[in-house]
């Protein structure tokens, strides 16, 4: 059982004129049918939950300039992750040599660390499970499904044949789990301290942020200055706003073909300098809450595997990265239905998104569509499982490994 | 204006299933001459059935209309009627892109043999501008009235230089069953301000949804008015349309100009011609029961089919003590069936309307969420039944069910001409179709799409199974084949009477 998955978000400028070459390389990753395509063997070390490459705008350098964003969620330290990626990609330079200042494979790890952006808020659907653990839960689930692929009259026999453990054995296992849980909780408490300190360092801005967070938000179209022009391309929501040139359907091909149940969202908005500090407090506050011990997982929005908000470009812009289940509509709908005030707090400081960002659902959706960019490459280590499936498979796994007899088996087999 | 005062401006198709009639026809029309089309529209507007209350005779009995006409337009039709690009741009993205847009088609499951290249009507290959929906025939055996009606309307269409590119028929069975043999259309939401009393004259208290979920111009379940297509004021020189009341709404190109409301009292209609493969359905169930039980007893086949649907063939829901229900629709799941032991989570009715159990949210929030994604269904079956569907209800004659052991396809088309009314296609029809029906992980499940509606067996997706909670362990069927195929479809705008008059000018 791990502590918590980690995340990185590396952003590096792409050399002028290299943007399309870079895109071509990214879109061919892992596609064996394309000659010369690169293969990233995340499965070898198997510590990566999610990874994506996104080509985003580089407004500072010019209208047509781009940057390469690489984001990943993984088990263990960033150093280990970067080394894994360097060693298990068939030609890592073919990706990164499009970027300015890239020193080559030997300097890859340092380059990635230098261009990494710290996370402001980190929501986790699986708070403690490693990739290998999740895969083992799902593998057991599939195995049990096969075992019960028999006529109904044989069900009790299959149940009777399941491995059992003595009461003493189970007691010792539970005791071990309890000790690990206590240790982890203490460690989390210690790890929460820097978050508390960071939050307190914002001083009186905490009070301003509290106003957003405690706003009893009601939906009201009259607050909206939403355009009723529903046609592409996107237009800026306000002076200084930056949008993608067209409204993105963010679904990847594998998602549309239902080979993968997860989807990805990359949203970049521009911060209003006047409210930047408040937005930073909101991120720090929600990050603290989400990472306290006993807050087992995000249960408000059950479709989020991992969601992260962070300030980039010295606070000029905010980046939102999400790995979620199902389609865009459901995800945004869930957010608005259940956490409108929270969303408002996150985006209230963005230029062009008025104070009442989520008071008007359609405006909010329009805003997300106009600020999001689809990933050119997207990876998940368990493409067939939703957050809820992982939780159920874990319950099944726990039950299987603490099975006393046929009666206890019937209880945990409810999760099959 | 409250919605109840606007009934004479709302097309009756939105508010009523015209349950007193048994026959339907759908005329899919292409326009060839603008002036003639407008002339025809001018003639047809007075014939459009509205939602206004039916008059009463001297005994106080409602005089039910015998023939009803309604009309809806594709985006292509609105373009042909020369609405400006500004107006067209104000329609929702799904209307502008169409049901057949490739990424949308995948999300809706319209792939393989159900993709638009094989459709009989709709899509790029078989476009149309207008659909006229006719309902008539006060008895099940009266098919003359509708035929006469179709002939009459067709003459008017053709005499105005337009062509009927496709004609569909539909009918309501006397027993209200669809072709698999199950009672259909049981669960329909009621519109606040419109549906006040049930058939018995009692006040409707449950299952009421805000008018804005189905009619543009009114608040929806979010407390917001749905966005509407709008017309710049100078494009309505005869001042027919009402002003757009939303003060914030604007065209980016027309920042300061006032706008007219083209959507008010109108709605969006989803059309899908659903072909049912009845023989495959029952034969699959027969084989599954043989696999599970070792022998294929007909009553067990019906049991499994009922688990797929969530109701018995006669419409009785799979709930504990169904005999105590006030109606076939007056039940929830949280108290009596939280684990799906009676009505499986994966069943058709429980995923079309999960009611108060929507994992992991509590019952009140589940109900609230579900009410934001409802449809007003207006389907009518087409084609003859493959077998005597009443046999499924005859519990006194179990032997008659032996027919299920030897069903063979007869090569005839049968299914449902499905229409659904909603004010927001993305949040209602598409949401239900993609996030609920075709979602193999809906409501905490694993690899289980809607057993009836799902796009199973596409060849490239993982298998889809039906999970049935059961003691001691859930039953999982083998890979499901696809039982329902799409052979036509379109997203339509059903304007108000006022907007029809605007279109006719």
* Per-residue pLDDT reduced to its tens digit, B211-242: 999 999 999 988 888 888 999 899 999 999 99
Interface of B with A in 395-454 (CB under 8 A): 426-427, 430-431, 434-435, 439-441, 444, 446-447
pTM for this prediction = 0.92
The confidence band for B259, taking pLDDT boundaries of 50, 70 and 90, is: confident
Residues B347-388 have pLDDT tens digits of: 999 998 899 988 778 888 888 888 889 999 999 999 999 999
B257 touching A (Cβ < 8 Å): no
- DSSP β-bridge partners for residue B417: B273, B380
How many angstroms separate the Cα of B165 from the Cα of each of B80, B92, B504? 16, 26, 21
Which residues of chain B make contact with A251, given a CB cutoff of 8 A?
103, 107
d(CA B335, CA B331): 10
The minimum CA-CA distance between B132 and chain A, rounded to whole Å, is: 27
d(CA B123, CA B120): 9
Residues A4-30 have pLDDT tens digits of: 789 999 999 999 999 999 999 999 999
d(CA A378, CA B129): 40
Residues A74-126 have pLDDT tens digits of: 999 999 999 999 999 999 999 999 999 999 999 999 999 999 999 999 998 88
Instruction: Give the helix/strand (H/E) hosting B363.
Output: helix B363-370
Does residue A137 surpass a pLDDT of 70? yes
**Strand-pair category, B208-209 with B267-276:** unpaired
- Neighbouring residues of B249: CB distance < 8 A, sequence distance ≥ 6: A224, A226, A227, A228, B227, B230, B259
Closest CA to A180 of A370, A411, A416, A1: A1
CB A254 within 8 A of CB A383: yes
A-B CB pairs within 8 A amount to 148
Residues composing chain A: 416
Closest residue on chain A to B259 (Cα): A228
The minimum CA-CA distance between A160 and chain B, rounded to whole Å, is: 12
Q: State chain B's mean pLDDT as an integer.
A: 92
Quote the tokens at residue B165. Answer: 């590119």
Does residue A1 surpass a pLDDT of 50? no
Give residue limits of the domains in chain B: 272-419+439-489
Mean pLDDT along residues A299-304: 75
- Full 3-state SS string of chain A: CCCCCEEEEEEEEECCCCHHHHHHHHHCCCCCCCCCCCCECHHHHCCEEEEEEEEEECCCCCCCCEEEEEEEEECCCHHHHHHHHHHCECCHHHHHCCECCCCCHHHHHHHHHHCECCCCEEEECCCCCCHHHHHHHHHHHHHHHHHCCCCHHHHHHHHHHCCCCCHHHHHHHHHHHHHHHHHHHHHHHHHHHHHHHHHHCCCCHHHHHHHHHCCCCCCCHHHCCCECCCCCCCCCCCCCCCCCCCCCCCCCHHHHCCCCCEEEEEEEEEECHHHHHHHHHHHHHHHHHHCCCCCCCCCCCCCEEEEEEEEECCCCEEEEEEEEECCHHHHHHHHHHHHHHHHHHHHCCECCCCCCCCCCHHHHHHHHHHHECCCCEEEECCCCCCHHHHHHHHHHHHHHHCCCCHHHHHHHHHHC
The highest-confidence range among A183-197, A257-271, A338-352, by mean pLDDT, is A257-271
B329 touching A (Cβ < 8 Å): no
Residue B90 has its nearest CB partner, among A219, A230, A247, at A230
Mean pLDDT along residues A36-46: 96
Beta-carbon separation of B90 and A159 below 8 A? no
Give residue limits of the domains in chain A: 1-116, 118-416
Residue B431 has its nearest CB partner, among A231, A329, A385, at A329
Token pair 């069903």 in the structure block, residue: B407
Supply φ then ψ for residue B486, to 5 degrees. Answer: -95, 130
Task: Report the pLDDT value the prediction gives residue A116, as an integer from 0 to 100.
Answer: 98
Supply φ then ψ for residue A147, to 5 degrees. Answer: -60, -30
Beta-carbon separation of A329 and B253 below 8 A? no
Which residues of chain B make contact with A141, given a CB cutoff of 8 A?
446
Quote the tokens at residue B446. Answer: 């694993």
CB B48 within 8 A of CB B190: no
Beta-carbon separation of B224 and A220 below 8 A? yes
The confidence band for A166, taking pLDDT boundaries of 50, 70 and 90, is: very high
Residue A152 has its nearest CB partner, among B292, B365, B462, at B292
Mean pLDDT along residues B420-436: 92
Mean pLDDT along residues A147-164: 94
B250 touching A (Cβ < 8 Å): yes
Quote the tokens at residue A408. Answer: 């206890």
Mean pLDDT along residues A364-377: 88
Closest CA to B269 of B176, B154, B150, B133: B133
Quote the tokens at residue B468. Answer: 């049935």
Beta-carbon separation of B441 and A152 below 8 A? no
Closest CA to A246 of A254, A255, A235, A234: A234
Q: Is the ipTM of this complex over 0.90?
A: no
Residue A256 has its nearest CB partner, among B107, B369, B446, at B107
d(CA A360, CA A366): 10
Quote the tokens at residue A90. Answer: 């068939």
Instruction: Give the helix/strand (H/E) hosting B151.
Output: helix B144-159
d(CA B110, CA B101): 10
Task: Report the pLDDT value the prediction gives residue B273, as an integer from 0 to 100.
Answer: 98
Token pair 């399309």 in the structure block, residue: A20
Does residue B254 surpass a pLDDT of 60? no
Does residue B134 surpass a pLDDT of 60? yes
The minimum CA-CA distance between A368 and chain B, rounded to whole Å, is: 15
d(CA A52, CA A67): 14
Closest CA to B335 of B316, B307, B306, B363: B363
Which residues of chain B make contact with A338, given a CB cutoff of 8 A?
361, 365
Q: State chain A's mean pLDDT as an integer.
A: 88
Beta-carbon separation of A410 and B472 below 8 A? yes
Does residue A326 surpass a pLDDT of 80? yes
CATH class of A1-116: alpha beta
Residues A222-262 have pLDDT tens digits of: 555 566 777 778 878 778 889 887 776 667 888 888 888 99
């Amino acid at each position: 059982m791990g502590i918590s998955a980690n995340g990185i978000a590396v952003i590096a400028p792409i050399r002028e004129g290299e943007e399309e070459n870079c895109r071509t390389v990214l879109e061919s990753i892992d596609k064996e049918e394309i000659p010369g395509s690169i293969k990233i063997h995340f499965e070898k070390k198997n510590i990566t939950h999610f990874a994506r490459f996104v080509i985003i705008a580089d407004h500072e350098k010019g209208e047509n300039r781009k940057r390469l964003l690489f984001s990943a969620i993984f088990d263990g330290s960033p150093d280990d992750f970067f080394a894994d990626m360097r060693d298990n990609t068939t030609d890592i330079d073919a990706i990164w040599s499009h970027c300015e200042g890239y020193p080559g494979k030997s300097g890859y790890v340092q380059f990635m660390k230098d261009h990494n952006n710290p996370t402001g808020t980190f929501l986790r659907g699986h708070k403690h499970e490693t990739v290998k653990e999740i895969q083992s839960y799902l593998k057991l689930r599939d195995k049990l499904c096969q075992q019960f692929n028999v006529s109904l009259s044989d069900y009790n026999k299959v149940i009777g044949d399941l491995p059992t453990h003595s009461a003493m054995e189970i007691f010792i296992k539970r005791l071990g789990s309890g000790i690990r849980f206590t240790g982890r909780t203490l460690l989390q408490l210690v790890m929460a301290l820097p978050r508390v300190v960071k939050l307190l360092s914002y001083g009186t801005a905490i009070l301003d942020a509290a106003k957003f967070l405690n706003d009893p938000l009601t939906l009201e179209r009259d607050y909206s200055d939403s355009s009723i022009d529903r046609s592409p391309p996107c237009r800026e929501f306000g002076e200084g706003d930056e949008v993608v040139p067209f409204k993105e359907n963010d679904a990847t091909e594998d998602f549309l073909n239902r080979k993968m149940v997860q989807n990805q969202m990359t949203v970049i908005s521009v911060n209003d300098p006047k409210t930047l500090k408040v937005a930073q407090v909101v991120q720090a506050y929600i990050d603290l809450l989400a990472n306290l011990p006993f807050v087992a997982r995000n249960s408000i929005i059950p479709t989020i595997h991992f969601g992260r908000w962070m300030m980039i470009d010295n606070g000029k812009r905010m980046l939102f990265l999400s790995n979620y289940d199902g389609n865009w509509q459901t995800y945004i709908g869930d957010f608005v239905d259940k956490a409108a005030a929270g969303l408002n707090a996150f985006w209230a400081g963005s230029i062009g998104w008025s104070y009442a960002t989520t008071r008007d659902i359609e405006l909010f959706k329009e805003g997300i569509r106009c600020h999001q960019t689809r990933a050119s490459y997207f990876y998940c280590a368990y493409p067939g499982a939703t957050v809820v499936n992982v939780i159920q498979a874990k319950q099944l796994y726990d039950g299987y490994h603490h099975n006393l007899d046929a009666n206890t088996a019937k209880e945990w087999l409810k999760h099959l | 204006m409250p919605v109840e005062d606007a009934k004479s401006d709302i097309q009756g198709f939105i508010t009523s299933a015209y349950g007193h009639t048994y026959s339907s026809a759908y005329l899919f029309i292409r326009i060839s001459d603008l002036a003639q089309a407008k002339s025809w529209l001018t003639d047809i507007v007075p014939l459009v059935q509205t939602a206004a209350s039916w008059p009463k005779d001297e005994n106080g009995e409602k005089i039910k209309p015998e023939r009803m006409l309604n009309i809806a337009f594709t985006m292509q039709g609105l373009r042909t009627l020369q609405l400006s690009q500004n107006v067209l741009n104000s329609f929702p993205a799904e209307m502008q892109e169409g049901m057949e847009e490739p990424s949308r088609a995948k999300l809706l499951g319209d792939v393989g043999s159900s993709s638009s290249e094989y459709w009989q009507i709709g899509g790029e290959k078989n476009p149309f501008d207008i659909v006229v929906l006719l309902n008539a025939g006060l008895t099940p055996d009266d098919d003359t009235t509708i035929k006469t009606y179709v002939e009459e309307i067709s003459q008017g269409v053709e005499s105005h230089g337009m062509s009927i590119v496709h004609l569909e028929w539909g009918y309501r069975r006397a027993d209200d069953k669809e072709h698999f043999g199950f009672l259909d259309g049981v669960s329909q939401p009621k519109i606040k301000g419109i549906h006040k009393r049930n058939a018995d004259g009692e006040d409707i208290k449950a299952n009421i949804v805000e008018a804005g979920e189905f009619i543009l111009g009114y608040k929806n379940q979010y407390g917001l008015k749905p966005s509407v297509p709008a017309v710049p004021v100078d494009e309505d020189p005869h001042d027919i349309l009402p002003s757009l009341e939303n003060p914030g709404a604007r065209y980016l190109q027309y920042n300061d100009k006032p706008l007219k409301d083209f959507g008010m009292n109108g709605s969006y209609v989803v059309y899908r011609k659903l072909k049912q493969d009845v023989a495959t359905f029952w034969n699959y169930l027969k084989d599954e029961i043989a696999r599970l039980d070792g022998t294929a007893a007909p009553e067990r086949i019906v049991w499994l089919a009922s688990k797929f649907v969530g109701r018995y063939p006669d419409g009785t829901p799979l709930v504990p003590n169904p005999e105590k229900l006030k109606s076939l629709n007056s039940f929830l799941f949280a108290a009596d069936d939280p684990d799906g032991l009676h009505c499986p989570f994966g069943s058709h009715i429980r995923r079309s309307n999960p009611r108060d159990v929507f994992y992991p949210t509590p019952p009140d929030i589940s109900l609230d969420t579900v009410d934001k994604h409802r449809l007003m269904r207006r389907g009518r079956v087409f084609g003859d039944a493959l077998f005597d569907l009443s046999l499924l209800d005859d519990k006194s004659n179990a032997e008659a069910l032996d027919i299920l052991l030897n069903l063979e396809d007869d090569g005839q088309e049968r299914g449902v001409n499905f229409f659904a009314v909603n004010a927001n296609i993305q949040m209602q029809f598409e949401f239900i179709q993609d996030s609920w029906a075709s979602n193999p992980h809906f409501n905490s499940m694993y690899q289980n799409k809607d057993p009836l509606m799902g796009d199973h067996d596409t060849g490239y997706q993982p298998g889809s199974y039906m999970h049935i909670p059961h003691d001691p362990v859930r039953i999982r069927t083998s890979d499901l084949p696809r039982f329902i195929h799409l052979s036509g479809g379109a997203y339509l705008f059903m304007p108000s009477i006022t907007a029809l008059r605007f279109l006719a000018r």
